[in-house]
């Protein structure tokens, strides 16, 4: 049977429309550029700081020491190879920094910084 139809051929009607809080927000793409942040209002008046662009990451080594490092390039992105070409920073992307290659461990579009772990 066709999607959204009953066995008799009649249509199924939605019980209600989407509420505003159920709608998806605009996707935030974090680019490799000088630092730019934005503060959004969340539910209950909470504030959320999100990144729009960034060129500095908090890089942690195997010993557990964390240092700030300048990001020079996005080497690869397992999720989508085209994102690496456009220098878009997402979770799991391998970035080249002053300290060496590192993998992003947080979601920069949801948080106000970039955390990464050094890769061998």
pLDDT, residue 26, reads 79
pLDDT grade for 1, boundaries at 50, 70 and 90: low
Domain spans, the chain: 24-118
The residue assigned the tokens 């539910």 is 43
Question: pLDDT higher for 54 or 26?
Answer: 54
User: What pTM, to 2 d.p., does this model score?
Assistant: 0.79
Query: Percentage of the chain surpassing pLDDT 90?
Result: 76
Tens of pLDDT along 32-83?
Answer: 999 999 999 988 999 999 999 999 999 999 999 999 999 999 999 999 999 9
**For the chain, how far is it from start to end, CA to CA, in angstroms?**
53
- What's the gap between Cα 77 and its chain centre? 12
The phi-psi region of residue 45 (left if phi > 0; otherwise alpha if psi is between -120 and 50; otherwise beta) is: left
Q: Which CATH architecture has domain 24-118?
A: Roll (3.10)
pLDDT grade for 115, boundaries at 50, 70 and 90: very high
């Amino acid at each position: 049977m066709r999607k959204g139809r009953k066995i008799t051929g009649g249509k199924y009607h939605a019980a209600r429309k989407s509420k505003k809080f159920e709608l998806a927000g605009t996707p935030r793409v974090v680019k490799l550029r000088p630092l730019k942040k934005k503060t959004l209002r969340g539910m209950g008046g909470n504030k959320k700081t999100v990144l729009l662009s960034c060129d500095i990451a908090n890089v942690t080594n195997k010993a557990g020491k964390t240092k700030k490092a300048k990001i020079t390039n996005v080497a690869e992105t397992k999720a989508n190879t085209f994102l690496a070409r456009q220098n878009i920073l997402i979770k799991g992307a391998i970035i080249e920094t002053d300290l060496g290659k590192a993998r992003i461990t947080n979601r920069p579009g949801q948080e106000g910084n970039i955390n990464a772990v050094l890769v061998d």
